[in-house]
Amino acid sequence: MAERLIDWDGELEMGIHEIDEQHRMLVDILNEFHEAIHQHKGTDVAERILERLADYTRIHFAVEESMMRLLDYPDYPEHKRLHDELIETLKDLTVKFASGKKSVNFELIHFLKMWLTKHIQENDMAYTSYFLSRGVVAKPTNTLNEERVDGFSIKKMWSKLWNES
């Protein structure tokens, strides 16, 4: 078994349960991709994992961006630009990966690891205090139906986003 690429730890936790859980899922999928490459499971397997990572990333970004718009986060345009930039870079690297270039494996894994950890620790942490000051409560998922922001149920909003994607 390959060594984990990223270990989930307190440095990646934001204190907003649902966002932390989504970040944890991104870390898990990235670790799965790393393991598939390390164990030479084949391009087809790695491509399917990479596609899952890209899909989940888009869903996660949609959730974050919806929260930012709902809460009138002042740095939303810049944060969205960073998200859009990652999606484009991920598309480019995925095309290179699919072409079978072995050097892309390291480039892709290194890029995703650095981008994900840096984005969480710097860019996402920047909105945490703002979200919490606007009433987003850090509660376990099973109590999110009680959590409300400006009269909107967070659980219902996330459920709607998941079902639309």
Q: Percent of the chain at pLDDT above 90?
A: 38
- The set of residues, in sequence order, having a beta carbon less than 8 Å from that of 46 and lying 6+ positions away, is 33, 36, 37, 97
Question: Model's pTM, two decimal places?
Answer: 0.79
- CA 34 – CA 89 distance, rounded (Å): 18
Local confidence band at 47 (pLDDT 50, 70, 90 cut-offs)? confident
**pLDDT average, residue stretch 111-137:** 89
- CA 71 – CA 137 distance, rounded (Å): 13
- The set of residues, in sequence order, having a beta carbon less than 8 Å from that of 102 and lying 6+ positions away, is none
CB-side exposure of 161: number of CA atoms within 13 Å?
18
Is residue 153 within a helix (H) or strand (E), and if so which, with residue range?
strand 152-153
Phi, psi (rounded to 5 degrees) for 137: -105, 135
Of 147 and 132, more confident: 132
Cα four-point dihedral sign 147, 149, 153, 157: negative
Confidence check: pLDDT of 165 > 50? no
Give the highest mean pLDDT range of 133-137, 140-144, 161-165: 133-137
Query: pLDDT, tens digit, for every residue of 50-88?
Result: 889 989 999 999 999 999 999 999 999 999 999 999 999
Where are the chain's structural domains? 16-164
* Pair 17, 138: CB distance under 8 Å: yes
Return the closest-CA partner of residue 91 out of 54, 59, 46, 63: 54
Q: Calculate the alpha carbon distances from 42 to 29, 30, 48, 116 in Å.
A: 16, 16, 10, 24
Query: pLDDT, tens digit, for every residue of 81-110?
Result: 999 999 998 888 888 878 876 666 777 888
Local confidence band at 146 (pLDDT 50, 70, 90 cut-offs)? very low
Of 76 and 115, more confident: 76
Give me the architecture of the 16-164 domain, per CATH: Up-down Bundle (1.20)
